Structure 1
Amino acid sequence: MQSDLPNQTRDQTLLSLACKHLNNNFNSLEEIETVNISGMSNVTYIISSKKEPSNKVVIRFFESKAADFATEASIFRQMGKRGWGPKEIESTDVYRVEEYIDGRPLTMFELRNPFIAKTAMEMICETNYDEKLNKLIKQLKTPNHNFSQDFVSDSDNGWFNRYMRDVRPQLLQADFTNFPRALEIFNVFESIVRDKDQFIKEYEGLYPSNENVLFSHNDIQENNIMVWNQDKTQLTLIDFEYSSLNFRGYDIASYINETAIDYAHPVVPKFKLYEEFFDSIIEEKEIDLYLGYYLKKYHQIMSQKIEEYEYKGQLDKLLEKELPILRDEVLRCILLQHLIWSFWTLIMMPIEDLKKCENFYLEYGYQRLQMYIKYKDQFLGLASKQ
């Protein structure tokens, strides 16, 4: 993501924070090693002194037009206090200075590794069912909110409603004469939102019937899972700006979707979606592998937490009952995800970017929407058989 801050302001802030937190009176940025590790929702740097490269901090600028950074800040502090993530050093409404974790983001291909998938599913389950996080998110937001449902039900900030109110009118007035690719993509979006009521009805029809609603990260992807350099078995979730309550299957669906999207792809538009990887997800044996890891961790948590837990000592019975239910939830959430993130790209995209032939936001949104269109009937057909 490109910073919305003027370069001079950003550079002055980086220099000031480097002097303060690296304990050095730097005269210019030339004395500082600055590594840009920005994702799609924020602008982030690792900074260190060129003379003392081992002393590092992370500086994150909050610039997403779609994220809830007030909520994210509270969750970030909670995770840091418990040793589940980096600690906050300093924070304002514009930026946060964080403890540096000696690690790196996973790659898309690592997400498909069975050991990493198992560890990630267990981590997701622990996060979903964590009592403190569930209590905190209900205090920060309305107790009955739901990230997936807010997409269409929140008239002010829901991403679908923001697209219809703020973005679509501009696109309807845009001159696409010299931009046939942008027009092609806009027409696909227009074909599904022209009848707004029908779109909302179809979207709400995707909701899982078994509404297990829990704390959710909501943006599980390769850049938001860190692996520690000193312990390759330790994973850490970062970037909680989209966290809220959501359907139980959503974070699992995120992980499954992201095993097929490479954000480190070197060729413009700087990502690659591997449809053939999604095809393998339809096979029950592969998706059930992920779900089994999650449910076994759930079984362990409930066995320790609840004295009268129904399935204590009966893992096989739990899997027999819950696996089909969870599979239905995840298949539906995979579809919800494709729609949600396709519209996210359009409210994030500067309208002037329509003129760019190789536009990340347009292409990403288009491909996510096409995945929804391609798999909708197939996934809902599988879900109906559960």
Structure 2
Amino acid sequence: MSRHGQGPRLLGRFPQGRVEEFINARTLSAPDLRDQEISALVARKLREFHELDMPGPKDVSLWQRLRRWLEEARGRCSADEVREFHLETLGDEIAELEKALSGVDQRVVFCHNDLQYGNIMIYEETRQVTLIDYEYASFNPVAFDIANHFCEMAADYHTATPHVMDFTKYPDMDEQRRFVNTYLSSSGENPSDTEVETLLGSIAKYTLASHLFWGLWGIVSGHVNKNIDFEYREYARQRFEQYWQTKPRILLKACDLTS
């Protein structure tokens, strides 16, 4: 990433870590994501990020990671937790979702996969943004990365209850369309209405994958990160609940469009 001019420059390594450039910029806040100017900057930056020629196999990592985290969650959870979070059936859900999404926009690129506001910084003078923290970065469909970013608009990690998601704050269609238009047009081309609507439809479907992704992350993290003050289980519960609530509407709509 450093060689590509993204994020902080890598200045050196030592056996237990590395030395990075200090970024003299401001980390975004939750309200910043609703600012039209900043949202457009993020859309352009994400397109630039997706155009990076990164090494390694260009295979989708999402489904393999979901199955790996599910296996780990089952191994760490008690029998009561397995029942509570329906972990015994989530393997079937992952398979069904992978099959349902196999026919949608599958342009696979190097994705950030964790584009929440705390991983975006802005230089106030130049109004440029930079993306940081690449722990979850890997190759995935474009629509998954954008869907994940939209879901993060329901979060505010700087409140008394940072684990609580407010999905009424998920961007409305006007906000989504502005972001996608900016994303697609930032390459210098004028996207057609069909291109915009197709990507929007794919993004809606990939929100389901995002809920499973972070739901499983929450369960595993709750068992691993004992000393971090965050209600991982409750966070996971919300992501799973949103999955179950929205799945019928989103997948039924997908079936109607393809029939």
Is the TM value for this pair above 0.5? yes
Corresponding residue number in structure 1 for 2:168: 276
- Distance between the aligned counterparts of 1:289 and 1:369, measured in 2? 28
- Distance between the aligned counterparts of 2:91 and 2:147, measured in 1? 26
Distance 1:295 1:384, change over 3 A: farther
- How much has 1:351 moved relative to structure 2? 6.1
Distance 1:195 1:271, change over 3 A: closer
- How much has 1:224 moved relative to structure 2? 0.5
Structure 1, residues 159-198: CA drift from partner, whole Å, max 9, x if none?
222223x323xx22xxxxxxxxxx6x76431x2x323552
Question: Over alpha carbons, which structure has the higher Rg?
Answer: 1
Corresponding residue number in structure 1 for 2:84: 188
1:150 partner amino acid: Q
State which of 199, 206, 213 in structure 1 corresponds to 2:108.
213
Corresponding residue number in structure 1 for 2:153: 259
Distance 1:382 1:348, change over 3 A: same
Tell me if structure 2 keeps the 8 A contact 1:254–1:334.
yes
Secondary structure at the aligned position of 1:262 is classed as coil
Secondary structure at the aligned position of 2:169 is classed as helix
Structure 1, residues 304-348: CA drift from partner, whole Å, max 9, x if none?
xxxxxxxxxxx2xx3223112211221111110110011012222
2:92 partner amino acid: Q
Tell me if structure 2 keeps the 8 A contact 1:118–1:293.
yes
2:137 is the alignment partner of 1:243: yes
Secondary structure at the aligned position of 1:257 is classed as helix
- Distance between the aligned counterparts of 1:288 and 1:93, measured in 2? 46
Corresponding residue number in structure 2 for 1:145: 59
Secondary structure at the aligned position of 1:260 is classed as coil
Tell me if structure 1 keeps the 8 A contact 2:8–2:20.
yes
- How much has 1:104 moved relative to structure 2? 2.1
Corresponding residue number in structure 2 for 1:167: 76
Corresponding residue number in structure 1 for 2:3: 78
Secondary structure at the aligned position of 1:91 is classed as strand
Tell me if structure 2 keeps the 8 A contact 1:208–1:329.
no
Tell me if structure 1 keeps the 8 A contact 2:28–2:117.
yes
- Distance between the aligned counterparts of 2:94 and 2:146, measured in 1? 24
Tell me if structure 1 keeps the 8 A contact 2:112–2:138.
yes
- Distance between the aligned counterparts of 1:229 and 1:145, measured in 2? 37
Corresponding residue number in structure 1 for 2:218: 345
Name which structure has the greater RCO, CA cutoff 8 Å, separation 6+.
2
Tell me if structure 2 keeps the 8 A contact 1:331–1:380.
no
Corresponding residue number in structure 2 for 1:27: none
List gaps (5 residues or longer) in structure 1.
1-74, 173-182, 304-314
Distance 1:93 1:188, change over 3 A: farther
- Distance between the aligned counterparts of 1:117 and 1:381, measured in 2? 30
- How much has 1:96 moved relative to structure 2? 2.2
Distance 1:197 1:370, change over 3 A: closer
Q: TM-score, normalised by structure 1?
A: 0.60
- Distance between the aligned counterparts of 1:381 and 1:293, measured in 2? 28
- Distance between the aligned counterparts of 1:197 and 1:89, measured in 2? 42
Structure 1, residues 15-60: CA drift from partner, whole Å, max 9, x if none?
xxxxxxxxxxxxxxxxxxxxxxxxxxxxxxxxxxxxxxxxxxxxxx
Q: TM-score, normalised by structure 2?
A: 0.87
Secondary structure at the aligned position of 2:110 is classed as strand
Tell me if structure 1 keeps the 8 A contact 2:26–2:122.
yes
- Distance between the aligned counterparts of 1:286 and 1:384, measured in 2? 25
Corresponding residue number in structure 2 for 1:296: 185
Secondary structure at the aligned position of 2:186 is classed as helix
2:244 is the alignment partner of 1:319: no
Distance 1:241 1:122, change over 3 A: same
- Distance between the aligned counterparts of 1:326 and 1:78, measured in 2? 30
Structure 1, residues 78-97: CA drift from partner, whole Å, max 9, x if none?
24xx2x32112222453222
- How much has 1:145 moved relative to structure 2? 2.6
Tell me if structure 2 keeps the 8 A contact 1:104–1:226.
yes
- How much has 1:385 moved relative to structure 2? 5.0
- How much has 1:295 moved relative to structure 2? 1.2
Tell me if structure 1 keeps the 8 A contact 2:119–2:132.
yes
Tell me if structure 2 keeps the 8 A contact 1:208–1:247.
no
2:164 partner amino acid: K
Distance 1:152 1:252, change over 3 A: closer
Secondary structure at the aligned position of 1:90 is classed as strand
- Distance between the aligned counterparts of 1:326 and 1:374, measured in 2? 22
Give me the CA root mean square deviation: 2.6
Secondary structure at the aligned position of 2:109 is classed as strand
- How much has 1:115 moved relative to structure 2? 0.9
- How much has 1:101 moved relative to structure 2? 0.9
